[in-house]
Amino acid sequence: MEPTQYRVVHRTDYTYGVPVALAHGVGHLTPRRTVAQQVLTSSIEFDPKVDHQWDYLDAFGNATIYWSIERSHQALSVVSCSEVEVWPSVTPAFSPAWEQVPALLRAEVGHDAMDALLCSVGSVLVGPSRELEMYARPSFPAGRPLFEALADLTTRINRDFEFDPGFSDVTTPVAEVFRHRRGVCQDLAHVAIGCLRSMGLPARYVSGYLETQPPPGQPRLIGADASHAWVATYIPGWGWLDADPTNDVTPPTRHITVAWGRDYADVAPIRGVVFGPPSAQTLTVSVDVARIDPPR
């Protein structure tokens, strides 16, 4: 198996109706290194240039950037470029029965186990609930290996929910998405997370990108022109296993991982505040992910 190299350009443009005097922002914009992913190059360009910038790792080890722009400006563009090398994802040969996972998890130590603990319980945007548990149940018959259960849940969510960019925004509660059975990739990821947590299992939110143009003969994936999101659960003794309910792939292919957390709020690509008179704001986002042809 060979790795694939991608060039990612993620561009975000804000404009403000009137100039703002000061802006602060936090971004999760640089792909992270994982067992299956190497980051070859990365850069973030700001226009106007930031006055101060700090890079650090957040509680989940995601590359995080904090910036401030301390001059009057009426527009902000943030362009994150990176080149990554992604190895095909692997499927665990064996996974424990889902019911055994909480106990196995308690016996483990280390970063992954800590993340798994924090991701087993409700977070700001996604808590466990009765109705999510009822929905998830059929995917979790007694003794079923966690990998199979996750794949089944992913397929069901993909089948039962309609991808609808017009229905929700980032403030739409999971319960609402669940009731109407529609939403975008992050809503579907949140539903999957809620289901897993309702079953007492760890579930984290993964934010990243998809290849924009599919290789010949393969379908174009949904969510390829913006940031994408999917879910991962933790298999004790093996590691985190990703699943993409929007495209029904477990584990996903042609996915580039940027950051993970408990839900969208932990890893939003850009959060920020600006100081100026209230005015209208526009936001445009574009993501382009292209294969880098291997040198001949």
Partner 1 sequence: MTTPVPRGYRPDAGRYDELIDERGQVRSHWRAVIDAWDRLGPHEVARRATTAERRLRAESAGYVFDDDAATGLTIDALPYVIDVESWAAIERGLVQRAELLELVLADLYGPRRLFSEGIIPPGAAVASRSYQLAAVGVEPAGARLISYGADVVRDATGRMLVVRDHTDAPAGAGQALWHRSVLAAMIPDAQARLRVRPLEVWLAHMRAALAESAVPGVASPRTVVLGPPLDHPDFVEASYLASNLGYHLAGSGDFTMRAGRIWLRALEGLEAVDVVLRRVADHAADPLELIPPSPTGVAGLLQAVRERTVSVANSLGSGVADRLWLQPFLGQVCQRLLGEPLLLDQIETLWCGDQDHRQTVFDHFDRFVLHDIDPVAPVASAFADELDSAGEDEWRRRIAEMPHRFIAQRRVLFATVPTGRVVGDESTLVPGMATIRAHAVRSGSSFVVLPGGYGRVVTPEQPVVDPAPAAGKDVWVIDTDHAPRRRLVAAPILPEIDLRSSIPTRSAESLFWLGRNSERAEFVARLARLVIGRAERDAPLCETSWLTAVLFGLEVVSTGAPMNLDPARPPFPAIEERLATALAGSVGSRVGALGDSLTHVFGGAGAVREFLSTASWRVVNSLAVERLELASGVEKGDMYLLAESLDRTVVSLAAFSGLAMESVVRGPSWRFLDLGRRIDRALLTVRLLDATLRADTDADVRQALYAHVLAGCESLVAYRRRHRSDLRLDSMRDLLLDDETNPRSLAFQLQRIREHIFGLPAREGFLEQLRILDELDTLRGRPGQVGDVLGLIGSAVERLSAHLAATWFAQPPPLQLRPQG
Which residue, 184 or 232, is less far from partner 1 as judged by CB? 184
Pick out residues in 215-274 that bind partner 1 (CB under 8 A): 226-227, 261-262, 265-266, 268-274
In this complex, which beta carbon is closest to partner 1, that of residue 96 or of residue 128? Answer: 128
Counting contacts by CB under 8 A, is residue 52 touching partner 1? yes
Q: Which residues are paired to 235 by β-bridges?
A: 239
- Report in angstroms how near the CB of residue 57 gets to partner 1 at its nearest: 7
Pick one of 5, 7, 9, 22: the residue that binds partner 1 (CB under 8 A).
22
Task: Confirm if 223 and 184 have CB atoms less than 8 A apart.
Answer: yes
Beta carbon of residue 222, minimum distance to partner 1 (angstroms, whole number): 13
Residues 272-291 that bind partner 1 (CB under 8 A): 272-278, 281, 283, 285
CB of 293 to partner 1, least distance (A): 30
Nearer to partner 1, 27 or 151 (CB): 27
Instruction: Report in angstroms how near the CB of residue 152 gets to partner 1 at its nearest.
Output: 26
Distance CA 167, CA 159 (A): 17
Closest to partner 1 by CB, 273 or 292: 273
Looking at residues 154 to 183 of the shown chain, list those that interact with partner 1 (rule: CB under 8 A): 169-170
**What is the DSSP annotation of the chain?**
---EEEEEEEEEEEEEEEEESEEEEEE--SPPPBTTEEEEEEEEEEESPPSEEEEEE-TT--EEEEEEE-S-EEEEEEEEEEEEEEPPP---S---BGGGHHHHHHH--SHHHHHHHHTSS--SS----HHHHHHHGGG--TT-BHHHHHHHHHHHHHHHSEE-TTT--TT--HHHHHHHTEE-HHHHHHHHHHHHHHTT---EEEEEEE-SSPPTTSPPPTTTTS-EEEEEEEETTTEEEEEBTTTTBSS-SSEEEEEEESSHHHH-SEEEEEESS---EEEEEEEEEEEPPPP-
Tell me which of 12, 62, 198, 247 binds partner 1, using CB under 8 A. Answer: 12
- The one segment of 40-48, 49-57, 94-102, 145-153 that binds partner 1 by CB under 8 A: 49-57
For partner 1, the binding residues in 80-139 under the rule CB under 8 A are: 106, 109, 113-114, 117-118, 120-124, 127-130
Question: Residue numbers of the site for partner 1 (CB under 8 A)?
Answer: 12, 14, 20, 22, 24-26, 51-52, 54, 56-59, 66, 68, 70, 106, 109, 113-114, 117-118, 120-124, 127-130, 169-170, 184-186, 226-227, 261-262, 265-266, 268-278, 281, 283, 285
